[in-house]
Amino acid sequence: MIKITNLKRRIRRTSQGITLIALVITIIVLLILAGVSIATLTGEEGILGKAMTAKNETNQANVREQAQLAVMGSYDEDGNLNVGELKEELAKIEKIGTITDTNGKLPITVVIDSYEVTIDEKGKVTIGEEVEGTITPPSTAETSPFVPEGAKKIEGTIDTGLVMTDKNENEWVWIEVPRTVEVYQTVGLGIKDFTEEEYTKIEIDLQTYASAYRQSGYTDTFYAAVQHGFADEKAYNDHKKSMLKSVYQNGGFYIGRYEVGTITPRYTKDDELVTAVIRQDAYPYNFITCEQAQAKSEELRTGGKTSSLMFGIQWDLVLKYIEEKGSELGETKEARQTKLKTDSSDWGNYNNIEFMITRGKYTTEPTRVGSWIEVTSSYTKPSSSVLLTTGATERNSVLGVYDLAGNVWEWTLEYTGNTSNPCAYRGGHCFNRGSYFLVFSRYYGETSLSDRSLGCRVALW
């Protein structure tokens, strides 16, 4: 019996050993098969790799075809490739990014459907690598919004308000200035060299286009360094030329979606000049001179673009854009122009109007420390003077731009023609009535501002 029992035990152990070995072998075989399958699917020579390559090649071919069609439609009567016409043809492509020429000449670089494309002097199209994270804004033949390097997102449309968020989380709205013969009646659309005469014509054409909003005696001219901080007339004019060229080439420019703000409030002109932001629920950057406002505006530059206070013509162009497309202010252009020129009470923060806000903060005493009160559920602003944080209500916005009417005055780069009060600010203030929207106020940039809440709005080009 002992021998039989031992034999059974040995058989049981042997059987268990065979089962484990078979299991290990099975696992190894499965792993080998899995490895072969993965290799077949992945890698450059795998099924998935080949599929991705085929997709990439198809996309590149489509991009090349679109670029070549644009080139074919851009030759003039003499058989020369026209840069201006090429940019217009490229702008018609659906998934088009920023179009960049070389000082008004070829080659041109542009992002089409996330691929970087270069077109040289002979019309040769070169497709580069796919640009990771590329943002492609909507564009038309009349306007091509650019995207600063590092921009995080673009939302909306040109007709309803195109909003770009830059790498610093500041928000900007595209202001369309159509690149058409109707706008550029004297200079035309074929500028190549940007001469002094052509810059003058561009400015005159823009002034004519936005003539309804021009104010007699106010010009975009240099007065003194203390005016806006420019060293001399040449520096001021060079700055203006860069703006005019960008507006002409791109069919518009960006402005801050909100008034320039601060994370912590300022109560007097002597408070620290803190970091500027363009974000909702910020304190308006007030009690600031025009020269200081320009310096803070320049700090908001992003992605290789220029940031600045608006020239007077840019302010006028903003109003013209609202007149053209700001349906929030009325169904007809005539109705909208009335609200822009005569009375902006129903879309601005003025002392003659009552409305409700449900976010942000408010103060009735901007110079008293600690006077800002947070809105916990809702607050009805009475028919009196109340300063609000930026973007407190949709009521005070049009085409994605907030607080253009009222809240705080906004400095511009204009010259008032008055040697005692050379600087201009526009837009009205919460201490004004709604009829003050387009009234120009004058205040000297070096004079005490302790009793005035003066702020700014920034342009980007």
What average pLDDT score do residues 324-329 get? 95
| pLDDT exceeds 70 at position 189 | yes
Distance in angstroms (rounded) separating the CA atoms of residues 358 and 375: 6
Residue 43 has pLDDT above 90, yes or no: no
Token duo for residue 15: 């059987």
Q: What is the pLDDT of residue 231?
A: 94
Percent above pLDDT 70 for the chain: 86
- 454 pLDDT band, cuts 50/70/90, is confident
| Confidence bin at 446 (pLDDT 50/70/90) | very low
The CB-side HSE value for 225 (13 A sphere, CA atoms) comes to 2
Q: What is the pLDDT of residue 11?
A: 47
Q: Which two tokens stand for residue 429?
A: 């203030």
pLDDT above 90 for 217: no
pLDDT of residue 452: 60
CB 244 within 8 A of CB 449: no
Cα distance from N-terminal residue to C-terminal residue, the chain? 101
Q: Is 374 helix (H, G, I), strand (E, B) or coil?
A: strand
Q: Is the pLDDT of residue 443 over 70?
A: no
Residue 89 φ then ψ, to 5°: -65, -40
Q: What is the mean pLDDT of residues 29-40?
A: 71
**Cα dihedral: 144, 145, 146, 151 (round 10):** -150
Q: What is the dihedral of CA 139, 144, 150, 156, to 10 degrees?
A: -40
Name the token pair of 424: 């201009």
In angstroms, how far is CA 216 from the centroid of its own chain?
Answer: 30
Q: Which of the two residues, 37 and 449, has the higher pLDDT score? A: 37
| The most confident of 241-245, 427-431, 438-442, 451-455, by mean pLDDT | 241-245
Q: Using 50, 70 and 90 to split pLDDT, how confident is the model at 245?
A: very high
Q: What percent of the chain has pLDDT over 90?
A: 59
Nearest to 257 by CA among 461, 411, 426, 457: 457
Nearest to 438 by CA among 330, 343, 324: 343
Of 13-22, 284-293, 318-327, 386-395, the least confident: 13-22
Given a cut of 60, is residue 121 above it in pLDDT? Answer: yes
385-388 own/partner pairs: CB under 8 Å, 24+ apart: 385/351, 385/430, 385/431, 386/349, 386/362, 386/430, 387/284, 387/286, 387/349, 387/362, 387/363, 387/430, 387/453, 388/349, 388/357, 388/360, 388/361, 388/362, 388/430
> Which residues, in sequence order, are CB contacts of 362 under 8 Å at separation 6+?
372, 373, 375, 379, 381, 386, 387, 388, 389, 392
Poorest-confidence range of 338-347, 385-394, 438-447? 438-447
